Structure 1
């Protein structure tokens, strides 16, 4: 697999600004992706080779406390260096990213439905992240999805609405107090303003990088194979900025301005106390930050599987 520090060329970057997402193939070997998938199934009591042991529909494979093997945790830069390099390009350089960015082996599965189950439109449209969202939120600079299996049409792919970014950004700007993901999911109805809906299909080992406010949804798996993914955030050291006179803008920042139809944005960052976690079930403010650099360091150096898994559970709870 040929690797470079800049896997995205200028047309790729322009396409991200226009489309708000990229599917990047060949980010990790298919054999490694299959090994992670099979191990995740075994840790949760399912036989990869015996479909009679599989449930139906979506299942977050959280590693049980008594599992015979621990949940693997890897840094994105090590697991999928091509995807890491692409994320660095999209965010304006590695120095802007709050590293480490971890990927856990607790996968989000979409198991086949029983034969004859009719296909239905994607449902449960939402934005990820149990924190108070602003247009500059550093908690998530990019939303990433690692495909640990081939993801086929009608095979339970995540669906995205690329033209949701404009309405969502405008709505967030109109609420200077911030919006929780719960509020955006339960009350806003963004999908009714969208006309473009795209299934995220691709080969095992691909990684999808998308705008952090991308509206997305789950879908039924009406094929005969299981779909395995892991979603994660690529966080920033500092909030985004939208004034090109202050410093060069990243492609993600340019994509935000493009979605709003402007070339620059006068935005006053919220006070620090507004940047907090929110309850997944109610959207209520929580008296703590969503995530801190110290927690991220801890997730790698002390009890890595437990800490990283806890941090990612809120992201995976909303089916993708």
Structure 2
């Protein structure tokens, strides 16, 4: 009986692994960075440094989880960085009582615009979100032309706290990871996203709604960018209208390193976590050994190229 059970189980495990996109590189890169830093930088394993790494990667993790949702639907959102910047500008540029509601409203509007442009009017995701990125960056500079200003005190308290010796960033990470995992794997919406990302035409023929879930992916992605903007602004206790500039490239790199297929339908929250860890450990290591931060952007580009090159050609988007 047990001999028949194992062969029957293997196809299911293989199918699940194929849907997550997890591979050797996803786990090997962060492990390699961790071992190398543990040996080459003794201060790396200190609690203070590890807590700092956690705080540094939280905003990227939030943005990347939103990017994951769009990528699973066979899209991409390059406007996430500018949405983060606009959120930071709004937090310090308007009345503190209205700042968070206005930022969330802006995120909702941007997500709807991106989603409708892609799903209803057929604009290519790269074109739609690149145009939105440019618009939002200009709007952020209009709202708050220079860095500075004060973030609402209550928001700082929600971000900069310690509980049981752990930094608040840890609990932010835990909350967004658990929330996205539940959304993707415990709701009908999540199942529909995997289906339409794998083959939208086939999903539609089987009676699965395509337009509304696709729009919802862009809305949620944009709102996650707003959440990341709130966290990062509160963490540094000030606003910056250019704060989000690196996040478009880094979020795409993180999900690609995590095995997420940019053509849609394949990816996992676990993969995104490991992809973000790879970038976070790389950044922290460069800081510890004194490598110029300008090298970081170039290295991120190389990692993105590596991750895309490892994907089979038929899986790469149009």
TM-score relative to the length of structure 2: 0.27
More strand by share: 1
More helix by share: 2
- Where relative contact order (Cα < 8 A, 6+ residues apart) is larger, the structure is 2
